Chain A
Amino acid sequence: MEEIYKELVAIVGERYVSNQPEEKFIYSRDPGTMEPSEPDFAVMPASTEEVRELMLLANRKKIPVVPMGGGLVLSGLSRPLKGGIVVDMKRMNHVLEVNEKSRYAIVEAGTSQGMLQAYLKKHHPSLKHSVPDAPPIATVGGNVLIHGSGHLSHAAGFHSEMLNGIEAVLPTGEIVRVGSCSTSPYWFSRAPLPDLAGLFLGWAGTTGIATKLAIKLFPNRALNDVAIFVVEDAELAPDIIHRITGVGLAEDVTAWMAPKPDWAEGFIHVNINYSADSKDELAWKKNLLRSPLKKYMDAKTGGFMMLPPPMKKPFLEAPASQLTRFADVRKGGGFEYVGAIMPVELFPKAHQAGLDIAARCGTTYSTGARILGMGHCMMFFYAYPFNRADAADVKRAQTALEETNRAALDMGGIPWKAEAPAQKHIIKRMDKHTFELMNRIRGILDPNGIMNPGNWEAD
């Protein structure tokens, strides 16, 4: 180990390697409920070349490598389940290029969502990217590679769908480029080439380390607004979502259900976020977005919430810090959620499952959904807070999460950014040949099995 330490120091410099108990402690865990698992080293490279050298070393010595961005995925995906090197990517945090006309940005993978957001605001105020509601130190790489979603997901789908190209280092040390950037100086799209981006999307860091990404940017309009449609009967939600998304004018459509504040209990709230360049355009969009819901307003089965400006503020914030604040509901610094990707028509079932599980496990809940694309699917989330200082409470949340993962699979959904145990449940249901293909691909890319081992593995 001492010899490896020295080699790591030779690659990234002494300041950026640690094998000390303090770093081993912190890099063994994330803010979710998964058990800690210690790395042997935490390392922070500053360039693609350094990442390449790290990979060559790890591959030669057959040491596990676990990429980490913000470490905020909550499901423990950057815990080194079999020890080895945690590669903290946040020193690679530069915005490399913004192409205004073709609306894309090229960033280093460890660039935080917040830094990109601030950079665009300052240098390219007419553009924005789709911001996830994760805390702003979450990285672009970590988020895109797990198929994240955010404030423009109704307009443009998963963040992985907004990906134009990737530069990645393979476990065997080759630097590859995927997308137009493999062939052209422009990172404009993944078409028209065979799409190799899938080799890195959804794999939880088991196929390589992304070092650069190009993502799509969108017009940043001057005026932003939100309307909230409220309905009691969950059975109506799929049609309501269908109608809103059918208009095609919103940027983000999210639903939320929570027992607190008191006025919210028992209702389904559908937030419709939209923006415009002028007041007239905003009013026009507002009317158009309201009109397909007239049926429910006339029948008095649903209606728009009165929203004075101060009440709108938290719903317009990107990222929404109130989601993070959920961690203190039990005065205990923790929450984790299952986000299950599923068709919109499963909304009522998904909602009921959340209520049942929370009641059974004796835990508070907060559920909701972000609609992807024009209602093409949704990320239905079940969040459970826990008190980190109370082992029984953590266990309670863990049980609720496990149950939720199973329930989501049972109803036809698929847990997103699944914890290692939930990945095993997914694998059990997965078409056998698909899983074999995954393993064959992994075997080619990573012959020594060094990349984030313990993930996407059957029992």
Chain B
Amino acid sequence: MEHSEILHRCFRCGYCKLPSSYADLNCPSYLNFRFETYSPGGRMWLLRAWLDGEIKTSPRFAEILYSCATCANCVEQCVFPKFKDDILNAFIAGREELVATGAVPPAVRDYFKSIHLYGNPYKMPEADRGKWADGLGLEPYSRHEYLFYVGCVGSFDERGQRMARSVAGLLKNMGISFGILGAEEFCDGNDVKAMGEMGLFDHIAQKNIRKYQDLGVQKIVTLSPHAYHAFRNEYPELGGNFDVCHYSQLLAPLIKKARFKKSESPIRVTLHDPCYLGRHNKEYRAPRKILAAVPGVQLKEMDRAEKDALCCGGGGGNLFTEMLGGGPDSPARVRAREAAATGAQVLAVACPGCSRMLDDAVKAEALQDDLEVMDLAEFVNRRLAVD
């Protein structure tokens, strides 16, 4: 297994269970399950035991590996600089081994099947991919400056679609030249890779790369940090070199030009950093710049913010496999409570996955009267001046 050489170097000291303030449990799967086995150190030791034949492949072992939300808190917090960068890679390599032996959990198998059969995890016809844009008058990509890539959640999830529409609207409003692929778009494969299906990921990535190259795409702006991560960090190895940004990065330098309503009352906003924008790609400023540009916004940071943000639990395929469940200790519900504790009226998000997870969590916590989950663009749009 790739990265197996680092497994025995884990001391199981548990720094990785916490944020840098040590304030609370920050590994979403450990937070949810609480057994040592579901902590990063537990996974390291179990993987080693599994490779050494000390424990067998089992549904529980598979659950332990797949309940990791690939949030990279462990990579951020591990105190061993010489191997920490590969901790998550080792977990993904472990998943790859499980895929190879056909021992993945049923929900993961279903996810892969859906991608194979339908091209998306929602089992929706690919022809419907572009429906989110109906009525918006967006142009099909054709030598525009940017390709606006929406991804599966933005295309098929009702919450994601709302977000995609908001972002597209704002991009348009800001005068950005962009086109979309609509029904021609395809899954970016980021979660497929995080779930260890490397063959399928390569196939998806190559298909996308060919398409983008044929269309002459040079710059891509993504709705989702997951797609941003895949295009920016995974595609180049397969020959796909594009100039990629997340929509918050494209908007941040332009937003000060926007015209906002003058009469809006002050509003308290807290921001949830998405793992694939934040910890995986170290972008913490762009979303904050956008919020800072909106008149009346009082940013109320959560105790765990930026590199210490608690993951919503939706990464690594968990948005679809729901292995972290929806109980009171589920990371999304803990995060919703943490957001509410800041006194914020709006929980701003910048990822369609987080948006889905946190929206559900706010409802499960019966906080919807106090706290509205809003994507950055949705929030900005609401406060823009209407001509």
Contact = CB atoms under 8 A, between A and B. Distances in A.
B15 A324 contact: yes
Interface string B23-51: 11000000001111100001001100100
Interface string A328-339: 100111110000
B8 interface: yes
Contacts of A334: 11
Nearest to B49: A25
B79 A325 contact: yes
Contacts of A72: 13-14
Contacts of A15: 33-34, 327
B5 to A, nearest CB: 9
A91 B35 contact: no
Nearest to B36: A26
B11 A324 contact: yes
Interface string B236-252: 00000000000000000
Contacts of A18: 35
B11 A114 contact: no
Contacts of A27: 36
A21 B49 CA distance: 11
Contact of A328 (B9, B15, B18, B55): B9
Listed residue (A113, A328, A387) with the most chain B CB atoms within 10 angstroms of its CB: A328
B8 A44 contact: no
Given A122-B303, A331-B9, A91 B14 contact: no
Nearest to A138: B14
A375 interface: no
Contact of A71 (B23, B33, B36, B54): B36
B10 interface: yes
Given A71-B36, A333-B8, A325 B80 contact: yes
A238 interface: no
A241 B199 CA distance: 64
B56 A21 contact: yes
A22 B49 CA distance: 9
Contacts of A388: 8-9
A36 to B, nearest CB: 9
A379 interface: no
A202 interface: no
B22 interface: yes
A20 B54 contact: no
Contact of A332 (B9, B13, B60, B79): B9
Interface of B is mostly: loop
B263 interface: no
B252 to A, nearest CB: 30
Looking at chain A, what size class is its interface with the partner chain? 35 or more
A71 B12 CA distance: 9
Given A136-B22, A137-B18, A325-B79, A21 B58 contact: yes
Q: Which of B33, B45, B54 has the largest count of A CB atoms less than 10 A from its CB?
A: B45
Given A22-B64, A118-B22, A135 B35 contact: no
B13 A22 contact: no
Contacts of A113: 22
A25 B55 contact: yes
B17 A21 contact: no
Contacts of B21: 118, 121
Interface in A263-308: none
A143 interface: no
A328 B10 CA distance: 8
Contact of A26 (B22, B23, B46): B46
Contacts of B10: 333
A68 to B, nearest CB: 9
B22 to A, nearest CB: 3
A248 interface: no
B203 to A, nearest CB: 32
A389 interface: yes
B257 interface: no
Contact of A31 (B11, B18, B54, B56): B11
Contacts of A177: none
B280 to A, nearest CB: 23
Contacts of A44: 34-35
B82 interface: yes
A325 B327 CA distance: 36
A15 B67 CA distance: 14
B79 to A, nearest CB: 5
Contacts of A118: 21-24
Interface in A104-123: 112-115, 117-119, 121-122
B61 interface: yes
Contacts of B56: 21
Nearest to A388: B8
A71 B58 CA distance: 25
B25 to A, nearest CB: 9
B53 to A, nearest CB: 12
A425 interface: no
A133 to B, nearest CB: 11
A325 B21 CA distance: 18
A23 interface: yes
A113 B9 CA distance: 24
Contacts of A121: 21
Interface string A380-413: 0000000111000000000000000000000000
- Identify the 9 closest CB pairs spanning chains A and B, nearest first: A114-B22, A137-B14, A118-B23, A327-B11, A389-B8, A135-B13, A333-B9, A136-B22, A388-B8
Given A22-B55, A31-B12, A115-B24, 13 more contacts: A15-B34, A15-B327, A21-B58, A25-B37, A26-B37, A27-B36, A30-B12, A118-B21, A121-B21, A122-B303, A328-B82, A331-B82, A333-B9
Interface of A: 15-16, 18, 20-23, 25-27, 30-31, 42, 44, 70-72, 88, 90-91, 112-115, 117-119, 121-122, 135-137, 321, 324-325, 327-328, 331-335, 387-389
28 contacts: A20-B58, A21-B60, A22-B46, A22-B58, A22-B60, A22-B61, A22-B64, A25-B54, A26-B46, A30-B12, A71-B36, A88-B34, A90-B34, A112-B22, A114-B18, A114-B23, A118-B23, A135-B14, A136-B15, A321-B79, A324-B11, A325-B80, A328-B9, A331-B9, A333-B8, A333-B12, A335-B11, A387-B8
